[in-house]
A = this chain, B = another copy of it.
Amino acid sequence: MSTENVKPVEWNVAASDGEARAGVLRTRRSVIETPVFMPVGTQGAVKGIRFESLEDELDARIILGNTYHLFLRPGVEAMRHFGGLHKFTSWRRSFLTDSGGFQVFSLTDLRKLTEEGVEFRSHLDGSKYFLSPEVSMEAQSALGSEIVMAFDECPPGDADHQTTKKSLELTTRWAKRSRARFDQLQNENADCGRLGSADGLSGRQALFGIVQGAGYDDLRLESLERTVEIGFDGYAIGGLSVGEEKSVMYRVLENLAPKMPQDSPRYLMGVGTPEDMLEAVGRGVDMFDCVIPTRNGRTGSAFTSRGKLNIRNAKFRLDDGPLDPECGCSVCRRYSLGYLRHLQQAGEMTAATLISHHNVAFFLELMRRARRAIVEGRFAAFHRETIEKMASEGTPAV
């Protein structure tokens, strides 16, 4: 069968409610109901949570891998040796890999940017590396993720209009080069995750483009138009939640997201808190990823239906209730606040693994509940009630 005209992913909007959408994204390795939160597995593991739990209990359908980290260690050759990220890690469902650009551009002192790409020094040992659209596509074909991200430049959150415009022009040129090299690699069968048969899908990787433009609505729309012109399987919004005011993020989403192609999934990169995700869902975003459930989990900070809790708080010392009485995860069903606080105070790593587990459960479930609300046409009320409840107790979520 020729796969030339068959898509790598299938996208359907099952229901919508205002701008909010309940979609189904089918990849060669899993069916993803949206809105969806994607747990982050930076170095090939979601910190503190075994894949068994992500599959059996939490039912995550897609997780992230970070190309920058995996490019440096174990490296592209090791990845090809193992036959891609799925075989290496044993995660059988979908992976989305970022392009590596975001991490490289965070290394402000360690990088040199040219038209060709970016030279940088590894944060691990200072040795020199080079990333470009081509190198990123090659790395992501070795990883064999279901969704590959184009290589973009991410300007600082406070960049001026001119700098941002120049940057998005570079991003556009890089998007074209990403697309070209990606297509070559697919035709060369370089994709380690390739499946021969995938129920009507091509078995190939999908490529998502990234819209930049910082807080400038005109540049966002220009970036969107030029990215859609190139043509991708999905569209991401990059360069938000990088230090700008919340109001800026919400305004950009308000003006941008509804204009993004209806027939493709929309992914807001690196976002965010429960509050931010709900705001974005209400503006038409479908996919999210963020490290906060696991990062906060490691410091004893729990997300709950009543807001954020700091497990170190002395008031929990003798509390035999769960982290979140409304949560059905295995941590909330079994362990008390008092016990979790004890583990945290005692420096037991089990505190980190249990609270991270709950936090990821909470994020995944929040998106499932948002989806049900959209399907039932009550998203606005669900949104309002959820936010009110989160503000009712605990510390306000950051």
Residues of A within 8 A of B (CB): 43-45, 47-52, 69, 73-74, 78, 81-82, 87-90, 317-318, 320, 330, 334-336, 338-339, 342-343, 345-346, 348-350, 352-354
Contact = CB atoms under 8 A, between A and B. Distances in A.
B342 A73 contact: yes
Contacts of A338: 74, 78, 82, 88
Contacts of A51: 334
Nearest to A90: B334
B74 A348 contact: no
Contact of A349 (B74, B87, B353, B354): B353
State the 5 A-B residue pairs at the shortest beta-carbon distance, nearest first. Answer: A45-B350, A43-B346, A45-B348, A74-B342, A90-B334
A318 to B, nearest CB: 5
A343 B90 contact: no
Contacts of A73: 342, 345-346
A335 B90 contact: yes
A5 B317 CA distance: 40
B43 A348 contact: yes
B43 A342 contact: yes
A360 to B, nearest CB: 14
B343 A43 contact: yes
Contacts of A52: 330, 334
Contacts of A343: 43-45
Which interface residue of A43, A350, A353 has the most chain B CB atoms within 10 A?
A: A350
Nearest to A345: B73
Nearest to A330: B52
A354 B48 CA distance: 10
Which interface residue of A48, A50, A338, A343 has the most chain B CB atoms within 10 A?
A: A50
Contacts of A49: 350
Nearest to A320: B82
A342 B45 CA distance: 10
A88 B319 CA distance: 10
A218 B48 CA distance: 51
Contacts of A318: 78, 81-82
A376 to B, nearest CB: 34
18 contacts: A44-B339, A44-B348, A47-B348, A47-B349, A48-B350, A50-B354, A51-B334, A52-B330, A73-B342, A73-B345, A74-B338, A78-B318, A81-B318, A82-B338, A88-B336, A88-B338, A88-B342, A349-B352
Nearest to A87: B320
A350 B353 CA distance: 9
Contacts of A320: 82, 87
A317 B82 contact: no
Contacts of A334: 51-52, 90
A354 B78 CA distance: 21
Given A73-B342, A82-B338, A343-B44, A50 B348 contact: no
A89 B320 CA distance: 11
Nearest to A342: B74
A76 to B, nearest CB: 13
Contact of A342 (B44, B342, B352): B44
A103 to B, nearest CB: 14
Nearest to A44: B342
Contacts of A317: 74, 78
A349 to B, nearest CB: 5
A48 B348 CA distance: 8
A64 to B, nearest CB: 15
A335 B335 CA distance: 28
A241 to B, nearest CB: 24
